[in-house]
Amino acid sequence: MKKYAVIITGLAVASLVVASFTYADDGVKRQILKLFPQADTDEDGVISDTEEAAVRQQIVNRFPQADKNGDGVLSDAEVKTVLRQAARRAVQKEPNSGKSRTDTASTKPTYANVKYGENERQVFDIWLADSSTPTPLAIYIHGGGFKSGSKEKLKSDKVSELLDAGISVASINYRLLNTNPLPAAHHDARRAVQVMRSRADDWNIDKTRLAAFGGSAGAQICMWLAFSDEMAKPESSDPIERESTRLTCVASAGGQTGNSPEFWKKQIGEFLNDKPIESLANPLNGVTDPQMIAMMQWGASTLEEAKKISSRHAALNLVSDDDPPIFMSYGMKPTDQPPTNPARLRGWLIHHVNLGIALKEKMDALHLEAHLNYPDAKCAYESDVAFLVSKLLTK
């Protein structure tokens, strides 16, 4: 739970004025996400019940006086009081500060918006570690349901930790589903990896030590890269296509490991209260029919074609005995009950730890290294950064 200790320590030096916040429904969650995005452990862009509970518990542990009624649980009012008090102290200490400490803008890339294609979304930022010898590279791929998000979602504390360890860092944008059906996003990530490898000499990168990490949709893309066979084209006239696509390791947060309705029913069907698995489908460009959404999402003309394409981009269908190690993190325990608020149920379900358990079981059977982290789990690594540092710095 070290990451939450960092969050609460940050309360004492928070650099945003929250005294004037007006709290509506879910206001506490929104402010936790705004001030401390690292609390969003599955990187889905929202603070879940489980993530909020962990933050509240850390507040109680570090600041027991915040629990005014002594019941061991912080109410919304008590949490708001802690946030307001911390912000007032921060304003007194840092009156000219207007940025969150985790804003990636505070960690300026060595090169920003490097183009790897013609589309405006086909760009990445890269931070180069200071080293006299070629450095490993960790590539961040953002989440957002393939419909939103950006390379700026990468937290600056992760950039700093990796750079301090001697690992260079990149963060990519990719084309979004609203305008480009899948697997355009996957193919963009592949191209970005190959472009980075093609610039290895210029950027002092060791092209034999590359990793990918990301959450939710980004986690899916990361796992697709890690578990796909080599996708380089040695005979291509394009030198970038001749670069390798293989990775040393991969780290995912809240990752979806399978795509078929049957897989989803098996893993989370017990929580749906007899609702069809298709009820989880979100509208796409105004379309609400689940089958039409599936076809649009995968650029298919039939549902069968959509299933075939999606199956080729699912980690469980791709992983084989020559694949790299993975670190997976999820925001809930396998025994946790679903949130009572229906508005939060979908996010909880589509990032459920059962999805990671299924992949770990298959990787264990293949004798592959797979680490699964969730609240109170016994895991060899406490974070994705710790895992990446260990694997990328071991030749």
Q: Where are the domains of the chain?
A: 2-93, 104-259+307-392
As a whole number, mean pLDDT of residues 206-213 equals 98
pLDDT at 4: 41
Alpha-carbon span 130 to 165, nearest angstrom = 10
pTM above 0.85, yes or no: no
Structural contact between residues 41 and 58, judged by C-beta atoms closer than 8 angstroms = no
Contacts of residue 237, defined as CB under 8 A and 6 or more positions apart, other chains included, come to: none
How far from 102 is each of 15, 111, 225, 271, 347, CA to CA, in Å? 10, 19, 27, 34, 23
pLDDT at position 129 over 90: yes
Alpha-carbon span 245 to 137, nearest angstrom = 13
As a whole number, mean pLDDT of residues 216-234 equals 98
Q: What CATH number matches the domain at 104-259+307-392, 3.40.50.1820, 3.50.50.60, 3.40.50.2020, 2.60.40.420? A: 3.40.50.1820
Q: What is the 3-state composition of the chain as percent helix, strand, coil, each rounded to the nearest 5?
A: 45, 10, 45
Structure confidence by residue, pLDDT tens digits, 338-361: 998 888 899 999 999 999 999 999
Structure confidence by residue, pLDDT tens digits, 279-325: 888 899 999 999 999 999 999 999 999 999 999 999 999 999 999 99
As a whole number, mean pLDDT of residues 5-29 equals 41
